[in-house]
Structure 1
Amino acid sequence: MTTSTELDATDPLADLRDRFVIEPDVVAYFDGNSLGRLPLATRDRLERFVREEWGGDLIRGWADRWVDLPVVVGDEIGALIGATTGQTVVADSTSVCLYKLLHTALDLRPDRAEIVVERSGFPTDRYLVDSVARARGRQVVYVDDPTDLAGVVGDRTAVVVLNHVDYRSGLLLDLPALTATIQATGALALWDLCHSVGVVPMDLDGAGADLAVGCTYKYLNAGPGAPAFLYVAERHLTTARQPIEGWWSAADLFAMGDVYEPAPDIRRMLSGTPAVSGIIAVQEGVRLTAEAGVETIRTKSIALTGFALDLIDRHGLESTTPRDSTARGGHVTVRHPQARAVTAAAAERGVIPDFREPDLVRLGFSPLSTSFGEVEQGLGVIADVIASIGSHS
């Protein structure tokens, strides 16, 4: 097994770690798939924004630079997910963006009665599907195995909501193949990219995707609660309608007209005044990701997760993450009956993983800021904690 020292020495992204705030009291940060570390460029850019743009320009900043930020940064995200310009926009929280897209999908398929969603998908996805289905008089169909949609998706299906990467196990779905399967029935594919954007290469346009949503505070390192983004394929834009029609999505933003007319482009998916400081943080994270290159990031991600799985085996631990690198995203999970206690005890020793019910310790590695040495040290601590818990049980 190649050592962590050897892997770090040949890592083409190793120098990027120095461009993040690295906490001196943290031995290993294994929660980059929930909240990425702070890029130094973001810290500096936000300081300049407060001092020079907001503090100096005041409201003039809208005309000078802020009005177009949601679309400008949306296009920069689009370049990471394989979307040509004009289809991606930075908008609200992930939940609000998903809410908008669910309504949009139902309007695009008004004669279809069902929404399909993963039974084990991220809770917000399931909650919103249930809520929108009640409000729109549709039925919810749950799929247990998202890799096999046969017999689940059919001519009654309006939209299928799938997580590109499972938030617990790290299972990576075949986006192009499943999109084709869904569309063959006449239904729409709505992808949740929260655990894949910035760490898994994708080509939404090439796959013929319909709709997608994703957050920016994980692998894009945009900060806690940073605005999310949504994607609407160009072929749907002229007819797409969303349920929160605010002034920012109007065709003429400053006309203040009596009758609402939606913008003819991706701006129609906006609602209220954008969170400028949040979008600026998104932009810095996206630019750092683009500089590194998603393909290069993916190569390191596969190496990090593979190295971690080898260490998990060496320590005699159990993992639920696929061993096939083509079928896993950027995190791995360790299964243990006292996972909550393991997570808490590891944190006390400077290793920060993530607990997921009922028995999973989730380890998220951000390739831009996580070293192989960090992975080795952190898993050593977790193994010690598990051994200690076992000896006292």
Structure 2
Amino acid sequence: MIGSTLAARAADLDTADPLAHHRKLFLGADGVQSYLDGNSLGRPLASTVDSLTAFVEEQWGGRLIRGWDEGWLELPQRIGDQLGRVTLGADAGQCIVADSTSVLLYKLARAAVAARPDRTEIVIDRDNFPTDRFIVEGIAQERGLTLRWIDVAYDGGATPADVAAAVGPQTALVLLSHVAYRSGFIADIPAITAVAHDAGALVLWDLSHSVGSVPAELDAWGVDFAAGCSYKYLNGGPGAPAWAYVAQCHLATLDQPILGWLGSADPFAMGSAYQPADGIRRLVSGTPPILGMLAMREMLNLIEESGMPAVRRKSELLTAFAVEAVDERLATYGVVLASPRTASERGGHITIDHPAFSAMVPELWRDGVIPDYRNPDGIRLGLSPLSTSFAEVAVAVDAIAARLESAGRDTADSRPHSGPSTGG
């Protein structure tokens, strides 16, 4: 049973939650008591079933090839503009949906170093998501560049001071994440971007773990480039296409490396030489993944209805309750919080560490409690503001506590016992 005080507090918070009514809009799953992995794969909206079915039957099946001329080709930029307006603080014409996060990060990073041809260094932190690190390692090898690594606190992330110590006259690009994938630490985008610009460098931000959960103001912050996925807090589904942002000031000179027909000025001219399209479309390479972006549009509509300030407020309350629950129920078993304790410094998830977690997560999944695991010892509790209840947090923390308590009893029972003492 959940600790009565914790369960009661969760019930009170759910009752007071102004966004609670949105939870019924998401599809559930039989046997799942607590889904705390929306920061890896968001639950689908029930309306997505209807929109996908209608598209297959009425547009794909009904209009066939005519659909490209009737709006499909414009869909990546239309959804990109909505994404920019609702979640990114970006004016129209700077965001587009295309490719995967890895491909878009490569395109933007490669374009950034090409825009600084006389510079030889890329700055990135060692605890960034593997894709980000691997991409800049590949670009560095390809272009003969040097990587400058930032070491960050395990429960934190890169700070303006860290970046200031790493950048210099040879820095071409700084690549960092808005929210750290492991700790949930929120980077100070405007301050770090200003530090990089003062050094003459460009900045590429990965917003995969923040978009749809933590508001951004990319235009106001002076960001050069950004990219992120759409299957976490944007609920686009497994393998949903990613998105990219290019500041207006860079669009005319963007020199992206993967030249494809739909990024050309006149795709259907089938010309013999490549001429880039004007605006954000020059970042496109191949045919847009239409089916893959429809679910993302459904979630953007819901976020726009709710408003990002309300979404962020719910996210802060969820993570605060999770930290409180961990302190109350798990700290006594040696569980350590590996995320910031201040709500304004963390995104939509927290990480907790314990040596038993690697073996425990499969057991939790089997019993319908679904967080995720990150090496070496971390359980991430991902709290998607529009679909996660406070009760789910209490259920998960209690399930973890029960297993740690049971393991402690088993260990104690296996120890040799001394005989009764005899007083002398």
**TM-score, scaled relative to structure 2:** 0.91
Is 1:57–2:54 an aligned residue pair?
no
Runs of 4+ in 1 over 4 A off after TM superposition: none
Is 1:222–2:228 an aligned residue pair?
no
Is 1:99–2:117 an aligned residue pair?
no
Of 267, 275, 295, 1:253 maps to: 267
Q: Deviations over 1:270-299 (max 9, x none)?
A: 000011101212211222222211111100
How many positions carry a matched residue from both structures?
393
State the distance in 1 between where 2:89 and 2:234 align: 16
State the distance in 2 between where 1:109 and 1:16 align: 46
Q: Deviations over 1:321-341 (max 9, x none)?
A: 111111100001111012211
> Which residue identity is paired with 1:374?
E
> Which residue identity is paired with 1:117?
I
State the distance in 1 between where 2:218 and 2:304 align: 17
**Aligned 8 A contact 2:164 2:196 in 1:** no
State the distance in 1 between where 2:406 and 2:99 align: 44
Q: Secondary structure at the match of 2:68?
A: helix
Q: Which residue pairs with 2:300 in the alignment?
A: 286
Cα deviation, residue 386, structure 1: 2.1
State the distance in 1 between where 2:408 and 2:373 align: 18
Q: Which residue pairs with 2:29 in the alignment?
A: 23
**Aligned 8 A contact 1:107 1:240 in 2:** no
Q: Secondary structure at the match of 2:28?
A: coil
Q: Which residue pairs with 1:82 in the alignment?
A: 89
Q: Secondary structure at the match of 1:209?
A: coil
Q: Secondary structure at the match of 1:241?
A: coil
Q: Deviations over 1:222-281 (max 9, x none)?
A: 100000001110000100111111011011121111111000110000000011101212
**Aligned 8 A contact 2:210 2:347 in 1:** yes
Q: Which residue pairs with 2:183 in the alignment?
A: 169
Q: Which residue pairs with 2:386 in the alignment?
A: 368
Q: Which residue pairs with 1:70 in the alignment?
A: 76
- Report 1:98-137 matches (<5 A): 98-137=105-144
Structure 1 unaligned regions, length at least 5:
none
Q: Secondary structure at the match of 1:142?
A: strand
**TM-score, scaled relative to structure 1:** 0.98
State the distance in 1 between where 2:243 and 2:407 align: 42
**Aligned 8 A contact 1:338 1:359 in 2:** yes
Structure 2 unaligned regions, length at least 5:
1-5, 153-157, 412-424
Of 329, 335, 339, 2:347 maps to: 329
Cα deviation, residue 348, structure 1: 1.7
Q: Secondary structure at the match of 1:50?
A: helix
Q: Deviations over 1:73-120 (max 9, x none)?
A: 111111110110000000100000001001110111111100111101
> Which residue identity is paired with 1:303?
L
Cα deviation, residue 349, structure 1: 1.6
Q: Deviations over 1:51-77 (max 9, x none)?
A: 111111100111112010110011111
Q: Which residue pairs with 1:181 in the alignment?
A: 195
Cα deviation, residue 29, structure 1: 0.3
Of 237, 244, 247, 1:233 maps to: 247
Cα deviation, residue 151, structure 1: 2.2
State the distance in 1 between where 2:408 and 2:65 align: 60
**Aligned 8 A contact 2:211 2:228 in 1:** yes
**Aligned 8 A contact 1:346 1:385 in 2:** no
